[in-house]
Amino acid sequence: MENARSGNAGKHKTRASIVEVAARLLHEQGTAAVTTRAVAQAAGMQAPTIYRFFEDKDALLDAVAQHVFTTYVAGKRLVEDSDDPVADLRAGWDAHIGFGLANAALFGLLTDPNRGTRSPAAAAGLEILRARVRRIAAIGRLRVTERRAVELIHAAGTGAVLTLLSSPPQDRDLGLADAMYEAVMRQILTDAPALPADGTTAATVAFRAIAPKLPMLTDAERTLLSEWLNRAGDDPASFDASHRRG
């Protein structure tokens, strides 16, 4: 039993060493530098050893992307939210832009649909964004649905990083990312918490964010309320009509 544990620990250590070496090569020299031969040489092992852990270069790159982005996401989770959800969203945006510019090759891997869509770390990053957007919805500052807001922010952030990376570092206009953020905020935020007289959308989005926490509702009532709120978020007019019929 002890030998088995020792063997598993050794395998884990060897795999971690391969991933860390590959991550360093990716960061310093780009995707083309991450070859089986180069990684094996830098890690001080024979190339066949790598094939015991990774089927091919793509599998190794997937593991590298997962490792680096998981570390980044874990760091984001450790940052405590402030009392200002909008400020926290801006801090998250700045961190995302900074990470992308500091990890150009890795960012390219994560934005590749064939890799990014199956990355648990990328999914965890999106979950953090959804949570931050939900906090804004809960204080009545969101003028669109949570899903719409998340998709706009994610698309804008990815596009801003890729655009900046397409230029040499000395030619990059970092104000582009700021301008993109402000443009998206104008689309998704209200100037102040919504009042009922301001229309149903912002108020409905806010209520939808806090409704699951209401203890006085039965499961059937939550289901009915969710149906109404989803309809209102997508089409306020149809919600008003159905509410009048009820």
**Can you give the residue ranges of every domain in the chain?**
80-245
Nearest-5° Cα angle at 216, 212 to 220: 70
> What CA–CA distances, in Å, run from 174 to 74, 158, 170, 171?
26, 14, 10, 9
| Contact indicator for 129, 153 with CB cutoff of 8 Å | yes
Q: How far is CA 111 from the centre of its chain?
A: 11
User: 18-39, pLDDT tens digit by residue?
Assistant: 999 999 999 888 888 888 889 9
13-22, 150-159, 200-209 — which is least confidently predicted? 200-209
pLDDT tens string 116-157: 566 777 788 889 899 999 999 999 899 999 999 999 999 999
**Distance in Å from the first CA to the final CA of the chain:** 67
